[in-house]
Amino acid sequence: MYKLGSLICALALAGATTIAVAEEWQALPDKAPDPADNPTTPEKVELGKVLYHDPRLSSSGTVSCASCHNVMAGGEDNRGGSVGVKAQVGGRSSPTVWNAAFNATQFWDGRAASLEAQAKGPVTNPIEMGMKSWDDVVVRLKAIPGYADLFAKAFTGADAISADNAVKAIAAYERTLITPNSAYDKYAKGDSKALNEQQLRGLQTFAETGCGACHSGPGFNGSQNGQGAGDYIKFPGIENGALEAQYGFSKDLGRYEVTKNEADKHLFKVPTLRNIALTAPYFHNGKVTTLDSAVTIMAKTQLGRDLTPQQVGDIVAFLNALTGEFPKQEMPRLPGYPGKTFDFE
């Protein structure tokens, strides 16, 4: 962890002005925290990886978790709205699954308090994976011979194949999806040459502009390693008729859709900035297609700042330094259902 004072010294040596912000800059941990009731094991991770990639968990047999959260890329699908069963398009852009273990809450509106709760939702969402119930999912899993052995290795008990165990396994796999050792992380750990001159200016501008007020912590998501209640921000925070006409940000009521509390209208979870260069389009509705535009819009709508092209370019350069090292992913062999198939919708 690099204290701010050390960063100031390094920036001064690079010819930059000092940063007058009282906060710490933290590297991403190499391991994600797991809950006491779902300790990570290799067997659980392997089962979760198989379930994560199995489209038979959807009513049509065409959509898996990986369909919208592609771990072979940036952890989402680079669409404004994800495509679910029967070619239905959702109203929000998929958040990345990479480093999701460091979020205090899940989904744009924070309606899931854990990865386990998040994993349970999309399977029975009529627009996403479309299963009528998790009971139906369990019946399907029990019919596939290979799953009995995978569940038995991951969990104890006579009836290991259950909805709770399935989502625990998926969450355990997702906790392995972390991307440490970005250029920024190396710099935060003391490598003064890890960031180039423009990225150093971008870090300084990021801090001076006020971006770190919300995008704080090691995940740049307002959370301390997934602990706490989660940070939310009103978006847009400052009304702008031209931007609203172009992007329609305010059509989505955000967390209000979950709580029905007037104070929660247009509140959204602070998203991670980790690997953000790979996760366009941006914002909850996926209407902004470039990172430059996203930075410009955030400064204007959240901080009341009109950034110069150089400032935008510098911040974007710094955000590119948040792209981490991705652990190797190998597609799993899915258990077979010999000689037959399901009655997919």
Which residue, chain included where needed, has tokens 């258990």?
335
As a whole number of angstroms, the longest Cα–Cα distance in the chain is 69
Catalytic residue among 128, 208, 257, 262: 128
Residue type (1 letter), 116 = E
In sequence order, the β-bridge partners of residue 234 are 267
Alpha-carbon distance of 323 to 98, in angstroms, equals 11
223's tokens: 């959370």
Which residue, chain included where needed, has tokens 């709205």?
81
105's tokens: 């809450």
Alpha-carbon distance of 177 to 143, in angstroms, equals 29
Specify whether the CB–CB gap between 62 and 50 falls below 8 A: no
Alpha-carbon distance of 234 to 177, in angstroms, equals 28
Which residue, chain included where needed, has tokens 């919708």?
345
Specify whether the CB–CB gap between 136 and 252 falls below 8 A: no
Specify whether the CB–CB gap between 118 and 107 falls below 8 A: yes
Measured in whole angstroms, how far is the alpha carbon of residue 286 from the centre of its chain? 14
Secondary structure (3-state) at 270: coil
Residue type (1 letter), 157 = G
128 is catalytic: yes
Specify whether the CB–CB gap between 51 and 120 falls below 8 A: no
Helical H runs in 210-341?
A: 241-247, 256-259, 291-303, 309-320
Catalytic residues: 128
